[in-house]
C-alpha cells in the first residue's frame, strides 16, 4: 500500500518535472526568420529544425550604382564567385565580383560590324572559361560570347527532321558542357532538352519526361468518340522548368508539375540517374493544402559533393538534398521581410552563400550559412570524400543542434560500426530508420553475443531438451500403468 502511494507520488513529481522542462523549452518565436525553419521526418511529418541559412543582405540595382533591375530571370555564379545576373527587362547582363561590387554590364555585342542587342533574354550560362551563353528568347536564338563579351557564335533556327515545319525556336534556359555542347530548354518543346553540337547544329533531344496518364481520363478517352476525342486535351509529357550542370557534366533538371519525379539527373544518354535513397523522393514540400497544390520547382542548383538545391516558386522555399536524395534543410518563403521573396525565379550557390533572385522586385537575397548549416554541409562533404570519422563527428554535432535530423544518426551509426561498437551502432541506425545499416550492425552484434554466450546457451538448450524428453517418457510410462490398471 505504502509502496503504491510512493509510486503515485513519484509519478506526480516526475510529471511536474516534465512540465517544468516543457515550460523551459517552449519554442520562442522571433521575427528574424531564425526559428521558422522546418524539416521532414522519416514519417513525412513536418518537424522544427534550426535554420541552415540566414538572410544577410539584399542586392539591388541601386546598391550596385546602376539602374534598377527589371524582371531579371536568371543568374549564374562562376567558380571564383563572380555573380552574373541576366536583367531581362533591360536586356543586359550584370557581372559582380564576390563582394557584390559591379564589375561590368554587357548590354550589346558586335555582330558583323553592327551593334546587336538582346530582346527579352531568359537564360544565362557562364562556362568555366568565362564564356557567356544567353538564351535570347524573343530573338529566337542563343548567343555565345567569349569572356570579353565578343561574339563567338549565334545558334538560331535549328534545322532537323525531328522538328516540325512550323517550329518556333524560343530558348528559355541553357547550359554548356565541357565538350562545348549546348543544351537548351525551349518553350513548347515536350521532347526534352535540345542538344546542339559544338559548331551550333542541332543534334537531338535528350531526357524527355514520360507521359503521365490519369487513369480516369484515360477511361473517358476510351469511351469518347473520335470527334469528342479531338476536343480533349492530349496526353503530353510535362515540360522541364530548369536545368543545371554539375562538375562531371550531368544535367540536373526540374519539372514544374508534380509528376512522378520532379527532379532528375540526366546522363549523356538522357536517362535519369538521380539517386532516391532518402526517406522521401526529392520533390519539395510533402505536406500541402489541396488549394495550394504541391511544390512547383523552377530552379535547381548543383553544389559540391553532389548536394543540390531546388527552388519552389509557389511557396518560395529552397530544399537542399544530398547526393543520395536525403533532405538536408529547407529555408525561405513568400513574404515581406528579409529572407522571404515575392517571386523567386533563380537560385545559385556561391561558396557558403546562397543567392536567390526575385523577378518582380528585381533584387537578390543573399543567405549565409549558420553554424548548423556549415556543420551539416561539412559532414556531408567529408562523408562524400570518404572521411567517415570526420563526418561522424560532424554528424554528431549536427544531431546535437537538431535532434530531428534522423539522417545524421546513420552517419554516427556507420562510424560506430567501424569502431566495432555494434550494439550502439544498431541503436543509432534504428534511430535513423535505416534498415540496411541496422541489419548489418545487428547481425554482427548478434554474432558477438552468440560467441560470448555460446557455451551456457547450448548447454541450456541441451538440458531443456533432455528435461522435455524425460517428462514425456515419464508421463507415457504413467499412462501405460494406469491404463493397465483400468484394464
Partner 1 sequence: MQALSKQLYQYPLHLIFHPFDGYWELKYERNQRNSLLIAFMILVLLVITKILHAQYSGFLINLSNPKYLNSLLEMVYVIIPVLFWCVANWSLTTLMDGEGKFSEIFMSTCFALVPLLLIHFPWIWLSLVISAQETAFYYFSNALAVAWTVYLLFVGNMTVHQYTPAKTVLTMLLTLVAMAFMAFLCLLFFSLVQQIVSFVVTIYQELVLRG
Residues in contact with partner 1 by the rule CB under 8 A: 43, 45, 430, 433, 435-436, 438-440, 442-443, 446
Nearer to partner 1, 292 or 450 (CB): 450
Q: Is the dihedral of CA 387, 393, 398, 399 positive or negative?
A: positive
- Judged by beta carbon, residue 401 or residue 444, the one nearer partner 1 is 444
Nearer to partner 1, 367 or 442 (CB): 442
The smaller minimum CB distance to partner 1, of residues 41 and 242, is found at 41
Distance CA 414, CA 383 (A): 10
In whole angstroms, the minimum distance from the beta carbon of 442 to partner 1 comes to 6
Q: What's the closest the beta carbon of residue 436 comes to partner 1, in angstroms?
A: 6
Spell out where 9-140 has E strands: 38-40, 46-48, 53-60, 74-77, 83-87, 92-96, 102-106, 108-111, 114-117, 123-126, 132-136
Residue 208 grid cell: 524527355
CB of 279 to partner 1, least distance (A): 11
**In whole angstroms, how close is the CB of 42 to partner 1 at the nearest point?**
9
Complex with partner 1: residue 232 or 449, whichever CB lies closer: 449
Which run of H or E residues covers position 426? helix 422-431
Least distance CB 8 / partner 1 (angstroms): 24
**C-alpha cell of residue 121:** 533574354
Specify the residue, 446 or 480, whose C-beta has the smaller distance to partner 1. Answer: 446
Q: Which residues pair with 300 in a beta bridge?
A: 310
Q: Is 142 exposed, middle or buried (0-12, 13-18, 19+ CB in 10 A)?
A: buried
Would you say 229 or 446 has its CB closer to partner 1?
446
Question: Contact 370/378 with Cβ under 8 angstroms?
Answer: no
Pick between residue 109 and residue 438 the one whose CB is nearest to partner 1: 438
**In whole angstroms, what is the distance from residue 84 CA to residue 295 CA?**
27
| Nearest distance in Å: CB 367, partner 1 | 33
Quote the cell numbers at residue 200. Answer: 551550333
Closest distance of CB 54 from partner 1, Å: 31
Selection from 119, 120, 133 nearest residue 84 by Cα: 133
Q: Where are the beta strands (DSSP E) in 271-421?
A: 297-302, 308-312, 317-321, 327-332, 344-350, 353-358, 363-369
Instruction: Note every long-range contact of 34-37, with CB atoms under 8 Å and residues 24 or more positions apart, other chains counting.
Output: 36/333, 37/329, 37/330, 37/331
Q: How far is the CB of 458 from partner 1 (least distance, A)?
A: 17
Amino acid at each position: 500500500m505504502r509502496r503504491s502511494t510512493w509510486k503515485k507520488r513519484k509519478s506526480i513529481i516526475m510529471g511536474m518535472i516534465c512540465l517544468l522542462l516543457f515550460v523551459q523549452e517552449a519554442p520562442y518565436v522571433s521575427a528574424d526568420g531564425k526559428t521558422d525553419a522546418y524539416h521532414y521526418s522519416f514519417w513525412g511529418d513536418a518537424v522544427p529544425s534550426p535554420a541552415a541559412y540566414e538572410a544577410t543582405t539584399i542586392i539591388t540595382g541601386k546598391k550596385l550604382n546602376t539602374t534598377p533591375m527589371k524582371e531579371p530571370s536568371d543568374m549564374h555564379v562562376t567558380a571564383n564567385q563572380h555573380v552574373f545576373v541576366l536583367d531581362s527587362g533591360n536586356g543586359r547582363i550584370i557581372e559582380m565580383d564576390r563582394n557584390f561590387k559591379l564589375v561590368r554590364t554587357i548590354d550589346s555585342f558586335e555582330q558583323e560590324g553592327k551593334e546587336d542587342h538582346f530582346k527579352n533574354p531568359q537564360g544565362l550560362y557562364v562556362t568555366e572559361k568565362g564564356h557567356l551563353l544567353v538564351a535570347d528568347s524573343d530573338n529566337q536564338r542563343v548567343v555565345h560570347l567569349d569572356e570579353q563579351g565578343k561574339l563567338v557564335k549565334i545558334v538560331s533556327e535549328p534545322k532537323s527532321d525531328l522538328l516540325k515545319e512550323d517550329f518556333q525556336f524560343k530558348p528559355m534556359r541553357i547550359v554548356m558542357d565541357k565538350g562545348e555542347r549546348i543544351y537548351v530548354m525551349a518553350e513548347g518543346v515536350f521532347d526534352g532538352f535540345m542538344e546542339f553540337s559544338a559548331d551550333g547544329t542541332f543534334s537531338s533531344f535528350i531526357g524527355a519526361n514520360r507521359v503521365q496518364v490519369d487513369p480516369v481520363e484515360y477511361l473517358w478517352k476510351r469511351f469518347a468518340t473520335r470527334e469528342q476525342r479531338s476536343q480533349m486535351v492530349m496526353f503530353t509529357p510535362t515540360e522541364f522548368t530548369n536545368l543545371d550542370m554539375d562538375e562531371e557534366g550531368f544535367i540536373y533538371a526540374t519539372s514544374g508539375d508534380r509528376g512522378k519525379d520532379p527532379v532528375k539527373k540526366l546522363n549523356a544518354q538522357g536517362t535519369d540517374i538521380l539517386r532516391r535513397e532518402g526517406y522521401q523522393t526529392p520533390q519539395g514540400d510533402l505536406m500541402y493544402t489541396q488549394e495550394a497544390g504541391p511544390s512547383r520547382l523552377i530552379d535547381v542548383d548543383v553544389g559540391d559533393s553532389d548536394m543540390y538545391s531546388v527552388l519552389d516558386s509557389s511557396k518560395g522555399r529552397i530544399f537542399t538534398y544530398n547526393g543520395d536524395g536525403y533532405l538536408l534543410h529547407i529555408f525561405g518563403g513568400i513574404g515581406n521581410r528579409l529572407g522571404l521573396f515575392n517571386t523567386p525565379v533563380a537560385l545559385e550557390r556561391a561558396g557558403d552563400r546562397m543567392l536567390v533572385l526575385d523577378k518582380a522586385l528585381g533584387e537578390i537575397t543573399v543567405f549565409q550559412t549558420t553554424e548548423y548549416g556549415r556543420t551539416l554541409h561539412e559532414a556531408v562533404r567529408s562523408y562524400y570524400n570518404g572521411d567517415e570519422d570526420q563526418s561522424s563527428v560532424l554528424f554528431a554535432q549536427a544531431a546535437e543542434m537538431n535532434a530531428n535530423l534522423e539522417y545524421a544518426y546513420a552517419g554516427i551509426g556507420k562510424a560506430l560500426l567501424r569502431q566495432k561498437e555494434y550494439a550502439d551502432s544498431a541503436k543509432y541506425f534504428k534511430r535513423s530508420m535505416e534498415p540496411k545499416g541496422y541489419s548489418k550492425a545487428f547481425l554482427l552484434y548478434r554474432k558477438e553475443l552468440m560467441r560470448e554466450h555460446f557455451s551456457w546457451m547450448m548447454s541450456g538448450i541441451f538440458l531443456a531438451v533432455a528435461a522435455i524428453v524425460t517428462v514425456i517418457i515419464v508421463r507415457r510410462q504413467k499412462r501405460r500403468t494406469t491404463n493397465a490398471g483400468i484394464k
